[in-house]
Amino acid sequence: MTSAIATQQLSKRYRRTTALNEVTLDIPPGAIYALVGANGAGKTTLIKLLMNILRPSSGAATVLDIPSTRVAGAAFDRIGYVSENQELPESMTVSAFLAYMRPFYPKWDTALEAQLVQQFDLPLDRKLKNLSRGMKMKAALASALAYRPSLIVLDEPFSGLDPLVRDELIESLLERAPETTILLSSHDLAEIESFASHVGYLEQGRLLFSEEMASLSTRFREVEITLPASSSTVPADLPATWLLTEHTGSVLRFIDSRFEPDTSPSALASRFPDATGIAIEAMPLRAIFLSIAKSGRPAPGRPTTGASR
């Protein structure tokens, strides 16, 4: 299996509304892939297409080498899926819910179930309807992890949870990471920056980029060049990979979206030989995404068609 998930020009349209527009991505086995974007960007639509809850208008997708339109029944023996709005049998106790789920999954691991119950501090004798939102999410996640799926798909799993519960869920996912691929959606960049290995950014149904987190963090830099006071203009032929270029007084500022640590500093010095100062700063993930959104175009320098491992 070369890809845990792959899509080719996957689209979903509702009459005149395009919810997802020709999305092509490749998620390698073992990745912790964060699909991010504002509410309404198309994240849930993409996940529902992958899980065969929705049918695509055009394009195709595979999930664990299975066409997404055939993901059903036994395929879910290998897929753990938890949605933000997932309905649970609320009249059941936590114990009854887990007992109900066991027979559906031949590889259900009762020892792992017990470990998850203890780790999440789940109250086995309480009904699901009487649990907090955080506890319900823990119960749902325990039921999705206990059979050791090859793929875990989580749609906004941390939305509305307090930081302690969120950290507990993240820790449990990281413990599973060596044996599975994880796809999760989120609109909160702070939630995923510390642990995701890959990231894809959706905006208005389009995938603006998809790549390894380390690569993204390396190639974006905020640059400030101080020019001589006598210099009132800058060259007109600035690279397209420089985003949000701003020239105020003697200072030129921009975001370099294709920064190369070994060559870019010397290239900047050659382009601006009279500069009295060149400052280059790394950028947090939120600042990178904001710069791409404000520039109004995909981040140049990497293809948006896949995520390399």
Give the mean model confidence (pLDDT) for residues 215-230. Answer: 90
The pLDDT-based confidence of 297 (bands split at 50, 70, 90) is low
Q: What is the pLDDT of residues 73-87, one digit of tens each?
A: 999 999 999 998 888
Listed residue (149, 140, 150, 51) closest to 100, CA to CA: 140
Judged against a pLDDT cut of 80, whether residue 304 lies above it is answered with: no
Its pTM stands at: 0.85
- Mean pLDDT to the nearest integer, 138-156: 95
Domain definitions of the chain by residue range = 5-216, 221-282
Q: What is the mean pLDDT of residues 164-179?
A: 86
pLDDT of residue 307: 43
pLDDT of 309 higher than 50: no
Mean pLDDT for 213-223 is: 93
> Which CATH number, 3.40.50.2000, 1.10.3720.10, 3.40.800.10, 3.40.50.300, labels domain 5-216?
3.40.50.300
Q: Residue 233's pLDDT band (boundaries 50, 70, 90)?
A: low
Q: At residue 39, does pLDDT exceed 90?
A: no
